[in-house]
Homo-oligomer: A and B are copies of this chain.
Amino acid sequence: MDETATYPKHDRSTIRRLRDRAKYDFATVHAIFSAASIVHVSFLPTDPSMDPFPTILPMLGAMGNFANPTADAATEPLDFYIHGHASSRLMKLPGSELTGDHPEGLPVCVAATLLDGIKLALTPFNHSCNYRSAVLHGYANLVTDEDEKNWAMHVVTDDVVPDRWNNSRVPPTKAESQSTSVLRITIVSASAKVNTGPPGDDRRDLQDDDVTSKVWVGVLPVWEHIGPPIESKTNKVTSVPRYLSSWMQERNSSREEYALKVASEKI
């Protein structure tokens, strides 16, 4: 593997348990962030002595490299972009006095998780899940360059539904753009954990006929399914456009295929 295309193993991101499931390469980490519909963003309390709790917010976001927009996600470094209403709490934190002693930006952790199956073993202790999960740590900063901001809004929109940006009313009005903020997260460490295959059981349970005759063992495959598009009352486009229907079809079948494959096969 190209060593330049992996995240450095920092103490905070090194996976210690079940290390065979750990991955640090750009390709795996970036693919999981790209596949997850929703990510969870965590940040520290403003004053831990007053309120000790971190906060988690569910967000939409996308990987991208503004300076090199055609960067290959498998081999080239990327930033992570999230957007939100300009008046929302998270968007106002970077650069404010609330970030404390971090001129690099607001320290955040972002997690992307896909559940691919429920592994039912003979005993609850050996139950597990098939999943793909990735976590990144980085510094979030407000994007102030108009070109980068417009590009990032485009990238985040198309990360949810490919080609939607150019198939909707764009560019944003000045008021729309002003009321949207974009944060660029510069990644300093990241890791992924992937589990696949059937459940594992202990020999003693497998050899116990009383147990094996009663307990069903296998995987319940799980995937995020997109159902038939439901048009709004205001919709005037009579048939669902192909960029939507073909993407949905392809996404549903590839997710189903993956969940079924890893239900029986360790990859």
Which A residues fall within an 8 A CB radius of B? 11-12, 16-17, 37-38, 40, 42-45, 48, 51-58, 60, 85, 87-89, 102, 107-111, 113, 115, 118, 120-125, 127, 129, 131, 133, 135, 137, 153, 157, 160-161, 164-165, 167-170, 172-173, 176, 179-180, 198-199, 201, 205-206, 208, 211-237, 240-241, 244, 248, 256, 259-260, 263-264
Contact = CB atoms under 8 A, between A and B. Distances in A.
5 closest residue pairs by CB, A with B: A230-B263, A218-B231, A221-B227, A56-B111, A52-B107
A7 to B, nearest CB: 14
Contact of A199 (B120, B180, B232, B263): B232
Contacts of A233: 198
Given A168-B123, A217-B235, A232-B218, A110 B56 contact: yes
Given A53-B137, A54-B109, A213 B229 contact: no
Given A11-B51, A12-B55, 20 more contacts: A12-B51, A17-B88, A37-B222, A38-B131, A40-B40, A52-B107, A53-B108, A54-B108, A57-B135, A120-B164, A123-B172, A125-B179, A127-B160, A127-B164, A169-B208, A198-B230, A217-B235, A220-B226, A222-B225, A222-B226
Contacts of A43: 54
